[in-house]
Amino acid sequence: MVRIRMKSFGRRHRPFFRICAMDSRTARDGASIEELGHYDPMVRNKDARTVLNVNRIRYWLSVGAQPSEKVQVLLNKHGVKKPAPGEPWQLPEPPAAAPASAAPEAPPAAPAS
C-alpha cells in the first residue's frame, strides 16, 4: 500500500520533514516514490511552514494512497481533499497575470540640429 508520510531530515534540535509518497513497508527515511512537499516546523511564519504540491497529492489520494495521521492534519489545514469520483485530480491553474509594461515606449528622439 502507498502511504503519504513524512521523511525525517535536518539535525538535532532542527527538524525538517519531506512529505513523500512511499511504500508502507519501507523504512522511515528509505526510498520514496515521489516527493510531494516539505514541512519545516521551525519557521516562524506559520503560512510558510508547509509547502505542498497539491495536484500531485490529489493524484496519489485518487489512486488510493493513505496519508499518515500527521500528514492528514497538514492536508486538512490546507484544505486538500481527495477528489470525488469522476472529478479530475488536477486543479485548474489560476490565470497568469499579463506582463504589464510600466510605461509606454517613448517616441524616437528628434534629430539634433
pLDDT per residue over 7-46, tens digit each? 999 999 999 999 999 999 999 888 999 999 999 999 999 8
Residues 6+ positions from 66 with CB-CB distance below 8 Å: 1, 2, 3, 4, 24
Cell (9 digits) for 90 = 488536477
Residue 60 lies in a domain: yes
Residue 106 lies in a domain: no
Domain containing residue 73: 2-77
Residue 104 clears pLDDT 70, i.e. is over it: no
Residue 91 lies in a domain: no
Indicate the number of domains in the chain. 1
Cα distance between residue 43 and residue 20, in whole Å: 20
Residue 70 lies in a domain: yes
Counting residues of the chain whose pLDDT is more than 70, the rounded percentage is 82
Position 106 scores a pLDDT of 61
| CATH code (residue 48) | 3.30.1320.10
Residue 54 lies in a domain: yes
pTM of the model: 0.75
Position 105 scores a pLDDT of 64
